Amino acid sequence: MSSYDVLIIGGGPGGYVTAIRAAQLGFKTALVEREHLGGICLNWGCIPTKALLRSAEIFHYMQHPGDYGLKLEGKVTADPAAIVKRSRGVSSQLNGGVGYLLKKNKVDVIWGEATITKPGEVSVGKSKKAPMLPQAPAPKGVLGEGMYQAKHIIVATGARPRVLPGIEPDGKLIWTYFEAMVPPAFPKTLAVMGSGAIGIEFASFFRAMGCEVTVIEVLPQILPVEDAEIAALARKRFEKAGIKIMTATKVTKVEKGADSVTCTLEDDKGGKQTLKTERLISAVGVVGNVENLGLEKLGVKMDRGCIVTDGHGRTSAAGIYAIGDVAGPPMLAHKAEHEGVICIETIKGMDAHAMDKLKIPGCTYCHPQIASVGLTEAKAKEAGYTLKVGRFPFMGNGKAIALGEPDGLVKTIFDAKSGKLLGAHMIGAEVTELIQGFVIAMNLETTEEDLMHSVFPHPTLSEMMHESVLDAYGRVIHT
């Protein structure tokens, strides 16, 4: 029986990053994967969706050449097969890169499905999961089915789409993000159930491709985790782009036709109506992959389908740890990666800082982009802070106007007493690249004075970050 210091179950962003860091720290390390290295993020989530959205962005610009003083002869068309092929190619390239990194760091890859049979022991059998992609062959030189021992076992098995009773995806008429990423053709009409990041990104993509899109959200606000002001601006932009949005509305029934679905909708006042579309995307969240791991008999504490951890990855069972989506929200790849590093450095005995979820940025890659970190204005008020709030519009920024992207807003929230940056929220072009500036500021416990005294380069979009801080304290220059 092969024996390891650390064995990680799951080869997604959290799992493979943890494995590499473990090897760097001198641990004999193995990683078990049942389907594809890189997990959902690399194969079905973060990466391929951004490839699709990049195609949509280019398509949008090509349809509006006159806005940039250009002329384009002939009609611009979208080729679904070519768009999907490019997206899959990007994922395939990175998938191979993960395998290379594991091999380079001397991490043993074990191909199969893992169950923790007892503390310190893992059984690996043939995968029971039907793969969404053609089953990846076991990389050359990896291990296979059998029993393995490890002093420390880290669960990093990720998550899958949540399924609502009576609205089970069938892969043809009702899609999850799996099917939505590889459409054989673009439907003429599409309903998207759920307005979180996944739902909104697909709504944005398919609308850019010419589909009539309706978003249905059970809560009063789209993008429920975002600041209400930013979400309201986003809704206006989406509706201007032609996306129909129905909030405070739930899908109570779905009937399938030969090539369409009919949703029965009910609003918060009891009003009912039906909506018929060619396809329906179910984007109502994800649920952790915690089944069939042997966790229950080992006494691992669970809460609402997630494994309870202590901020350093430790569970209630000695020698068993959990990171990433299975360890609870926010279910984001970058959270999983950082959580894995914290976990393995804790195992090593290093002074690893516990995960602070308020300092994890969130990004939605629709058009316009949305990014945030920290408390929303409403949450900051609920926490009892006296606030200073700054805002700066994209219309006041020279770079944004030059890019042809004058719509957007940067919003900053400070504690009026201490000057502590409590939160930052943005909507507009490239804000997913800008938000990290505020993430770093929060981690360094930066005050408003530090940010005011920082010199931001001109002309850049980042100048709006500076101006928003100035505005919070009555010192804004360019509005």
Position 143 confidence tier, pLDDT thresholds 50, 70, 90: confident
User: Cα separation of 273 and 387, whole Å?
Assistant: 42
End-to-end CA distance of the chain: 69
When the pLDDT of each residue in the chain is averaged and rounded to a whole number, the result is 95
Q: Tell whether pTM > 0.85.
A: yes
- Determine the average pLDDT of the residues in 22-42: 95
Superfamily designation of domain 368-472: FAD/NAD-linked reductase, C-terminal dimerisation domain (3.30.390.30)
The two structure tokens encoding residue 418? 């201490």
Is-contact 215 244, C-beta < 8 A? Answer: yes
User: Cα separation of 27 and 340, whole Å?
Assistant: 14
pLDDT above 80 for 130? no
Half-sphere exposure at residue 57, Cβ-oriented, CA atoms within 13 angstroms? 15
Residues labelled as active-site residues: 458
Same topology, domains 2-58+76-160+287-357 and 174-284? Answer is yes
pLDDT for 144: 83
Residue spans of the domains in the chain: they are: 2-58+76-160+287-357, 174-284, 368-472
Tokens 């490839």 belong to residue: 51
Closest CA to 360 of 453, 439, 474, 279: 439
User: Cα separation of 130 and 19, whole Å?
Assistant: 25
Is-contact 264 253, C-beta < 8 A? Answer: yes
Tokens 């931001």 belong to residue: 456
The two structure tokens encoding residue 350? 């290093």
Superfamily designation of domain 174-284: FAD/NAD(P)-binding domain (3.50.50.60)
In this structure, which topology does domain 2-58+76-160+287-357 adopt according to CATH? FAD/NAD(P)-binding domain (3.50.50)
pLDDT tens per residue, range 401-450: 999 999 999 999 999 999 999 999 999 999 999 999 999 999 999 999 99
pLDDT for 135: 47
Closest CA to 39 of 285, 288, 283: 288
